[in-house]
Structure 1
């Protein structure tokens, strides 16, 4: 199974990408698994918080699986995949319960977009993170840039996106993208972070979350994410992207 989902007695629903041999890259099975986990998080009244992490000690998520997604050549093919994942990340961002990216290792490309869709991010010491899509001749394709602009100051977000380089988790605390860094991160870390929140009535948590969702409705977050995805699909079709992907895969 490419993913696991587990509801702790505390009310924390933990979803884990289980592809350590692929640095927890996202393929179509993982996309389906995140959809199923969100259904549980939305519908099960016992769920008070949702945590996303990766298996192993090396990678949280290395983004989209290039071995699988490189088969998508046209902007139409790319848009079908990109928009599907974009809708899921919008759904994650607007889940009416607190969400946490438990970053247990490298988070790059789409892995950073996944983390940006969460309300909070805590990371293992020394983890590297970066929106590196620009190095492959494309932009963020799942709405991650629009989400990042909601998380940290605009000038910092724009610099991260345009430079397309990686940063240590410790550096990103100052920018506000990472909330805490731990020597190790695991389920206990998630419980420690959520300790005070999950003691509250879930309806209190939902009301606070709805406040920020209302803000995003007013500033058209979903429409901005959709435009971002369309832009990426156009770039995806270009030879510049396909050549960069082949070069990366042949390293």
Structure 2
């Protein structure tokens, strides 16, 4: 599949999706969002791919925000539709994906860029990264999940401050807040992500999928996360991966999971 705004690579079970609009600091426009959806879906449907890494091209930005020129003249109805479609096509889609998605934040992650990183299952950042939700400085609020995911990750008070001041935090502050898991140099960022991804690849894909569903359920209104955990735990007992994992443990050998 050919893309105009992203690069797609696969190696050793790891798909790396690079947003490639360096002249626009990798800003998310409608076409890029659609291409990201297609690329992530392609990776999810490829049985050889176990983990997905999303990053930005160049040394300045992961994603420096949404492409404001596309929606500056939108009406109320158009703005509402823009947010709803974004949630469905990309941000909720990534969050609920059956395969782990890691954000490699290699510079500015602002507005929709930070929202994209937060939709991923966890984040690593280069030491030059800057993160923020500056939407209120434009007379609007985050519309791709920022008002929901940021408080979940760093707490209500800190999220309120970041959103209301429209300010940025650096990588070390993001680490102290729990917004990112690790901070590395820019050169080390992708290799470190790949190292973590390789560890994930050693484990059962079906169990990982169940774990994603169980963890996510705790943050969904009206859903009892404990009930989802019990259900997903039970489902694992009917999988070939469970048979292989337990047999390998008892036989003192490395498991060879097939993802079924």
Given the two structures, how large is their TM-score scaled by the length of structure 2? Answer: 0.79
Q: Aligned partners of 1:46 and 1:144: how far apart in 2? A: 32
Stretches (4+) displaced over 4 A: none
The residue aligned with 1:239 is: none
Q: Please state how far the C-alpha of 1:186 moved relative to its aligned partner.
A: 4.7
The residue aligned with 2:87 is: 86
- What is the aligned-residue RMSD (CA, Å)? 1.6
Aligned pairs for 1:209-224 within 5 A: 209-219=212-222
Q: Aligned partners of 1:79 and 1:13: how far apart in 2? A: 32
Aligned pairs for 1:123-202 within 5 A: 123-184=125-186, 185-202=188-205
The residue aligned with 2:47 is: 45
- Would the aligned equivalents of 2:64 and 2:111 in 1 still touch at CA under 8 Å? yes
Q: Aligned partners of 2:39 and 2:165: how far apart in 1? A: 33
- Would the aligned equivalents of 1:113 and 1:145 in 2 still touch at CA under 8 Å? no
Q: Aligned partners of 1:208 and 1:79: how far apart in 2? A: 32
Q: Please state how far the C-alpha of 1:218 moved relative to its aligned partner.
A: 4.3
Q: How many residues align?
A: 218
Q: Unpaired segments of 5 or more residues in structure 2?
A: 224-260
Q: Unpaired segments of 5 or more residues in structure 1?
A: 221-251
Q: Please state how far the C-alpha of 1:197 moved relative to its aligned partner.
A: 1.4
Deviation sequence 1:171-225 (CA, Å, 0-9, x none): 11111001111111553232123232121121121121121132234457xxxxx
The residue aligned with 1:12 is: 14
Q: Aligned partners of 2:112 and 2:70: how far apart in 1? A: 14
Q: Does 1:121 align with 2:123?
A: yes
Q: Please state how far the C-alpha of 1:57 moved relative to its aligned partner.
A: 0.4
SS in 2 for 1:196: helix
Q: Aligned partners of 1:108 and 1:122: how far apart in 2? A: 15
Q: Aligned partners of 1:219 and 1:140: how far apart in 2? A: 23
The residue aligned with 2:31 is: 29
SS in 2 for 1:46: coil
Q: Please state how far the C-alpha of 1:79 moved relative to its aligned partner.
A: 2.0
The residue aligned with 1:234 is: none
Q: 1:150 to 1:46 in 2, by over 3 A?
A: farther
Q: Which has the larger radius of gyration?
A: 2
Q: Aligned partners of 1:212 and 1:75: how far apart in 2? A: 34
Q: Aligned partners of 2:8 and 2:137: how far apart in 1? A: 33
